[in-house]
Amino acid sequence: MPLPMESRSMTRQEEFREDFLSFLIKDHREIESMFSWWERAPLDQRDDLKRNIIKKLVQHSFLEREVLYPSTRKLPRIDSHKIAKEFLDEHHDVELKLDIINSHCCSTDMQLINEHMMSVISETRAHMRHEEEFLFPLLRSAIASDFWIEEGRDINMLLKLAPTRPHPLTPSRPPLSTVAGIAAGMVDKMVVGVKERLHVV
């Protein structure tokens, strides 16, 4: 069985029919597919899957920090700043664990990695469910659909700028998160390029 795919950019046609929230829901399904595969994957396939999961979650988190939670803070008649902070805190907790996972090798530290990965899976599943059942309906009802369509058109650009490895010490709110995320993304791409040239994973 093939490994789940890494983060997928939208085709040009999809950009004009899929809004931002719909993309996030689809991304949640891809994340869940990766999690399910991890839970049953043979040991010799977990290194590649570990990297794919980390990249997917880090890029997904970048999208939500840049668009979703700033929009959440604008919601009327609720403590929107508190809600956004709670979701961002959950992201930060997961990214701390991803940073630990990223720094260890599956072939030598599988027990430690699996312990943290199972915690990431459990926390992220609850986080995604809370977003889809609570936050997304609030955002759809309070913010015009044109906004989400327009933000959906920027997803490919954001994914190209997004980091691919965890950076838990970077700021979590725009504009500082945007600058830090883009800088981290550039560094990540340079590191990957050097490792590929040196044949180091």
Burial class (CB in 10 A: 0-12, 13-18, 19+), 80: middle
Q: What average pLDDT score do residues 133-159 get? A: 95
Residue 91 is part of which domain span? Answer: 12-198
Q: Quick check: 70 and 174 in contact, CB under 8 A? A: yes
Q: Please give the span between the terminal C-alpha atoms of the chain, in angstroms, as a whole number.
A: 22
155-181 residue pLDDT tens:
999 999 899 999 877 655 565 455 454
Is pTM beyond 0.85? Reply is no
Q: What average pLDDT score do residues 87-95 get? A: 95
Quick one: what percent of the chain has pLDDT higher than 90?
61
Structure tokens at 154: 């920027």
For residue 14, pLDDT beyond 80 = no
Q: What are the φ/ψ torsions at residue 164 (nearest 5 degrees)?
A: -120, 0
| CB neighbour list of residue 28: distance below 8 Å, 6 or more residues apart | 128, 131, 132
Report the pLDDT value the prediction gives residue 200, as an integer from 0 to 100: 45
Does residue 88 form part of some domain?
Answer: yes
Q: What average pLDDT score do residues 126-153 get? A: 96
Does residue 6 form part of some domain?
Answer: no
Instruction: State the pLDDT confidence band at 130, using cuts at 50, 70 and 90.
Output: very high
Mean pLDDT of the residues in the chain: 82
For residue 71, pLDDT beyond 50 = yes
CATH number for 153: 1.20.120
Distance CA 103, CA 108 (A): 12
Structure tokens at 149: 């369509």
Does residue 172 form part of some domain?
Answer: yes
Does residue 1 form part of some domain?
Answer: no
For residue 28, pLDDT beyond 50 = yes
Residue 86: how many CB atoms within 10 A of its CB?
A: 13
Does residue 3 form part of some domain?
Answer: no
- Estimate to the nearest angstrom the gap between the alpha carbon of 159 and the chain centroid: 10
Indicate the length of the chain as a whole number. 201
Instruction: Pick left, alpha or beta for residue 166 (phi over 0 → left; psi -120 to 50 → alpha; otherwise beta).
Output: beta
Report the pLDDT value the prediction gives residue 43, as an integer from 0 to 100: 77
Q: What average pLDDT score do residues 40-46 get? A: 83
How many separate domains does the chain show?
A: 1
Q: 193 or 54: which carries more pLDDT confidence?
A: 54
Distance CA 140, CA 136 (A): 6
Q: 9 or 149: which carries more pLDDT confidence?
A: 149
Report the pLDDT value the prediction gives residue 128, as an integer from 0 to 100: 98
